[in-house]
Amino acid sequence: MHLIVGLGNPGSQYELTYHNIGFIIVDAICKHWNFQSFSKKADCLITSSVINDNKIMLMKPYSFMNNSGISVARIRNFYKFSLDNVIVIHDDADLELGRIKIKKGGGSAGHNGLKSIDSSIGNDYWRLRFGIGRSDSQRSLADYVLSKFSNLDDVIPLVERIAQNIHLMLQGNNIAFTNSIV
């Protein structure tokens, strides 16, 4: 069984913000693959289904970004997920908008959600990094990531392709998955 975690912050004020791209992608996977509605458990929303013979649990931590690791650890420990089967989807300001990268392990690069997860379960899990770029203005990175997407029409087709092709990543075919997004 795989655990796919989308990082974000709960609440309508955070919907469609750069920092919530993990929630946005997990919602798209849920919709595309006809998962049931999310239910609340251990400070998160979860749902389960099957994608091409792979049992999948989708998760959105509702403990806010900086405390995501607490919820992830609870769900991981309860369901006994191997770190090899944990995928965390998050925003990455160091990648240009819409660019994705997949990697296993590594540092947090200052991302507070990843810092929290790393301190709770270690860092040897898969990461699907979605580029959000950096603001051209003088505003802080914190203000930028909590602002609404200014180019949502460019982002939605990428999100939909990720949802449609996530089965490739689940099969371990990361190159085909990445190529299907561009």
Instruction: Give the residue numbers annotated as catalytic, written as ranges.
Output: 19
- Residue 43 carries which DSSP code? T
Say which residues have a Cβ less than 8 Å from residue 108's Cβ, sequence separation at least 6: 114, 115, 118, 123
CA distance 123 to 169: 19
SS3 95: coil
Q: In which order are the strands placed within the sheet that holds 39-41? A: 39-41, 44-51, 54-61, 2-6, 86-92, 126-131, 100-104
Tokens standing for residue 128 = 């699907």
